[in-house]
């Protein structure tokens, strides 16, 4: 992540995990870990953050709990039909998931939805490759690097077309598959729970 809190990351949809992992091995990337995440997205009751293309995320990876403010930059579409310019993220490590969630509710935030995700992380130099699986979505690859040029170079090395990259949130990815996360209170591998 750069010093100005902008995340430089892009998504490549509908990848074959085995094929991508073989390519990652070929280019010298190293598998770091498999992670199971649970997270909750929160906002104010008037949805002022959502209206500004931002949200508060509390996430637990089984080892560490992080609290983050996320904001989509250069937004031109809500359905993923056009790429954003990027993403701002301010993140810090906190203690307990449940206690932090309770604190956020006490200061007036509301829970938008809770979700689960499976991630396999690979690293090559200072580039992170995350193979992500979310409930009801095809597996996709997220590449995070120091520059957009690095992302394009790594995509090409993996046999992907840089022009296919998506710069968007997972909510937009759900919309690409005709689902609106705002219709659900929980996105779980055990099933989606409607509001």
Burial class (CB in 10 A: 0-12, 13-18, 19+), 6: middle
Residue-range domains of the chain with CATH = 7-194 (2.40.320.10)
What residues does 186 pair with on adjacent strands?
Answer: 114, 193
pLDDT value, residue 2: 39
What stretch of H or E contains 95? none
pTM of the shown model: 0.89
Contacts of 131 (CB under 8 A, 6+ apart): 15, 17, 20, 21, 119, 120, 121, 122, 139, 140, 141
pLDDT value, residue 4: 61
- pLDDT values of the chain reduced to their tens digit, one per residue, 195 residues: 334 678 899 999 999 999 999 999 999 999 999 999 999 999 999 999 999 999 999 999 999 999 999 999 999 888 888 889 889 999 999 999 999 999 999 999 999 999 999 999 999 999 999 999 999 999 999 999 999 999 999 999 999 999 999 999 999 999 999 999 989 999 999 999 999
């Amino acid at each position: 992540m750069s010093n100005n809190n902008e995340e430089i990351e892009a998504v490549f949809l509908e990848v074959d995990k085995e094929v991508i992992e073989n390519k990652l091995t070929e280019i010298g990337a190293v598998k770091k870990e498999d992670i199971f995440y649970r997270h909750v997205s929160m906002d104010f009751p008037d949805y002022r953050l959502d209206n500004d293309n931002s949200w508060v995320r509390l996430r637990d990876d089984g080892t560490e709990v992080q609290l983050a403010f996320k904001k989509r930059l250069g937004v031109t579409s809500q359905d993923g039909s056009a790429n954003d310019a990027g993403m701002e993220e301010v993140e810090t490590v906190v203690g307990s998931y449940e206690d932090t969630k309770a604190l956020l509710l006490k200061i007036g935030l509301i829970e938008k939805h809770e979700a689960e995700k499976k991630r396999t992380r690979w690293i090559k130099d200072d580039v992170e490759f995350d193979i992500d699986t979310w409930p009801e979505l095809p597996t996709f690859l997220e590449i995070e690097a120091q520059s957009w040029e690095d992302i394009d170079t790594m995509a090409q090395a993996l046999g992907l077309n840089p022009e296919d990259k998506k710069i968007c949130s997972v909510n937009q990815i759900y919309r690409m598959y005709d689902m609106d996360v705002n219709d659900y209170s929980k996105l779980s591998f055990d099933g989606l729970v409607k509001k």
